[in-house]
Amino acid sequence: MNILDKIIADKHKELLLKKLVVPVSQLENSALFKRETISLANALRESKSGIIAEHKRRSPSKSIINQSLNIEDVARGYEHAGVSGISVLTDGKYFGGSLDDLLYARAAVKMPILRKEFIIDEYQLLEAKAHGADVILLIAAVLEREQIKQLSEFAKNLGLDVLLEVHNEEELKKSIMPSLDMLGVNNRNLKTFEVSTQISKDLSEKIPDDFVKVSESGISSVEAIKELKQYGYEGFLIGENFMKTNNPGENAKKFIEELSS
Ligand SMILES: O=C(O)c1ccccc1NCC(=O)[C@H](O)[C@H](O)COP(=O)(O)O
């Protein structure tokens, strides 16, 4: 079983328990559930940096990245740096994240927040809304077209933006539909962990112009972003490169200054 299959098998088990402990009515009655969301797609279209900076403690490919920071400080640092949005990993077992991380990040900043999770069920979209997210991620590698349609339409009805992630042409072809806002190309093959921005370049012209193009993972240089911009990318998801330092916000600030110089 590859890592992605393991993560999804665990999500199914986790969801069974969660649904018993926190009923849908509790999520729908939370104060944040009524909050008006902020569009990441709009922020990316308007923004100069286009950086979506991620809070990432550890990962299956890199093990521990940074476990010693306070998420509110990280989120505020990113906002101060001029990022266009913040990504918060909420998976506990593989990434060391939680829904509380989402709440703390929401309390700290006013900008769009992506719930970075392995979404397979509408319940997780209700959780995202109830914990202050503005955007959700759907991963084409683990969803059928019908599931992508059902989940993305459900998310749109909740006022959430949808970022659909692909890693090859087949996933892209099966996924294109009007209920998506952003199409993300993951430069990391989630089955082998190989990373190359070449896949973003190769798929760029196959992504219809109606979607904001996002290049995800393995980005560590300003030059890589300048190059990807030539291929029409407006969003750049960066985790490890910022999180491996003691001050991710300061690091993101220098990165963005260099990008705009
Ligand atoms: O990062 C991993 O090792 C990983 C493994 C399996 C599934 C997902 C994984 N990462 C999630 C992400 O998509 C990244 O955290 C995100 O794109 C940022 O990537 P990076 O800038 O390379 O930290």
Q: What is the rounded average pLDDT of the residues 234-258?
A: 98
Of the candidates 241, 188, 258, 253, which has an alpha carbon nearest to the alpha carbon of residue 55? 241
Given a contact cutoff of 8 angstroms between Cβ atoms, the answer to whether 99 and 131 are in contact is: yes
Determine the structural domain holding residue 136 and report its residue range: 3-260
Which helix (H) or strand (E) is 69 found in, with range? none
> What percent of the chain stands above pLDDT 70?
100
Spatial distance between the Cα atoms of 226 and 180, rounded to a whole number of angstroms? 25
- The confidence score (pLDDT) of residue 237 equals 98
Q: With 90 as the cut, is the pLDDT of residue 172 above it?
A: yes
Q: With 90 as the cut, is the pLDDT of residue 1 above it?
A: no
Q: What is the rounded average pLDDT of the residues 95-102?
A: 98
- The confidence score (pLDDT) of residue 190 equals 82
Which atom of ligand 1 approaches the CA of 62 most closely?
3
Backbone angles phi, psi at 186, to 5 degrees: -85, 120
Q: What is the rounded average pLDDT of the residues 153-166?
A: 98
- The confidence score (pLDDT) of residue 47 equals 76
Name the residue of 4, 52, 59, 135 to mutate for ligand 1: max ligand atoms within 8 A of Cβ.
59
Q: Is position 93 annotated as part of the catalytic site?
A: no
Q: Dihedral of CA 227/230/161/188: which sign?
A: negative
Spatial distance between the Cα atoms of 171 and 178, rounded to a whole number of angstroms? 16
Spatial distance between the Cα atoms of 131 and 115, rounded to a whole number of angstroms? 9
Q: Is position 144 annotated as part of the catalytic site?
A: no
How many other β-carbons are positioned within 10 Å of the β-carbon of residue 223? Answer: 10
Specify the CATH number for the domain of residue 24: 3.20.20.70
For 29-77, how does the pLDDT look when each residue is reduced to its tens digit (9 = 90+)? 999 999 999 999 999 999 779 999 999 999 998 899 999 999 999 999 9
- The confidence score (pLDDT) of residue 192 equals 86
Domain count, the chain: 1
The finding on whether 203 has its CB within 6 A of some atom of ligand 1 is no
- The confidence score (pLDDT) of residue 224 equals 98
Instruction: Report if pTM > 0.90.
Output: yes
Band (191; pLDDT cuts 50, 70, 90): confident
Cα 261 to averaged position of ligand 1 atoms, centre (Å): 28
